[in-house]
Amino acid sequence: MQSKTEDFLVELEAYDIEEHHIRSFQLYEEYTQKPIADTIRERKENFEKAEFTTKRQLFNEVEREAQSFRSWLEKTKNLDPKVAYYFAVSLKSMLFGLPAGVQVAQLFDIILDKQVRK
């Protein structure tokens, strides 16, 4: 018998990850009422300028933001808590201003590129 964690990982593997990153970004834009490109740029600049103690505060702020986003997804979008958790966690690197992994970094480039073209 598989554990709940293993079941959840199997469920996640069935998803198209890139599609769900984009969906996370769209939901986050709706949540913040702010273009994702602005959020990425702002967070990246803040994180790059920050000293060690300020970075720790930024990490704590991101944890609170992710939790708030997760709660919003559960309440407003009626998402299953596991799915809401996945969407919230997948945005943490963006909220830190740090692309994690090639796929997310490529998404950042696409989003910022589209913003520049507008």
Q: What is the pLDDT, as a whole number, of residue 25? A: 81
Mind spelling out the 3-state secondary structure of 43-90?
HHHHHHHCCHHHHHHHHHHHHHHHHHHHHHHHHHCCCCHHHHHHHHHH
Count the Cβ atoms, other than its own, within 10 Å of residue 70. Answer: 20
Tell me which amino acid residue 17 is. Answer: I
Distance from the Cα of residue 22 to its chain's centroid: 9
Per-residue pLDDT tens, the chain, 118 aa: give them. 455 555 544 554 554 445 656 778 889 999 999 988 788 788 878 888 888 888 888 888 889 999 999 999 999 999 999 889 888 887 876 677 655 444 555 566 666 666 666 5
Domain borders along the chain are: 18-117
For the chain, report the end-to-end CA distance as a whole number of angstroms. Answer: 52
Question: What are the φ and ψ backbone dihedral angles of 30, each rounded to 5 degrees?
Answer: -65, -40
